Amino acid sequence: MRTVLNILNFVLGGFFTTLSWLLATLVSIIFIFTLPLTRSCWEITKLSLLPYGNEAVHVDELHPDRRNVLMNTGGTLLNILWLIFFGWWLCLSHIMVGITQCISIIGIPVGIANFKLAAIALWPVGRRVVSTEEARAAREANARRRYQ
């Protein structure tokens, strides 16, 4: 089912959003001050291409033992730069494609996936794309650790 939905996403507008993310990745490589954003761009490019079966999870959820205040502060500053330079237009592209996909009944699940990507497009630094199973396991382990 994931494969069918990923193909449907690609055909119904996912190609456009993936190209937008690739463009943002290339621009972040060109400018030196945006170079730290390149990893986040690439991670979300993968999620834009294959949104079903993958999730964007914050690094703190994947590796809670590696939490670092300095890295979180730097990530917040990078997210602010991201929002100013790339985030707003990528978010708008996901919203436009999502609305277009939701016009047809068959495109509604894919449109909802694009709305989720629109939220990620605003604040992507510190997120990693992992399989849905890995994300669920990390969340369960964090919940067990937190409530024991």
Q: pLDDT for 13-36, tens place per residue? A: 888 889 988 998 898 888 887 788
Give pLDDT tens digits for 63-96. 777 777 766 788 888 889 888 888 899 899 999 9
* Global pTM value: 0.82
Number of domains in the chain: 1
Question: In this structure, what token pair is assigned to residue 84?
Answer: 């100013």
Domain around 24: 1-147
Cα 59 versus chain centre, distance: 13
- For residues 59 and 126, the answer to whether their CB atoms sit within 8 Å is yes
Which long-range contacts does 69-74 make (Cβ < 8 Å, 24+ apart)? 72/126, 74/36
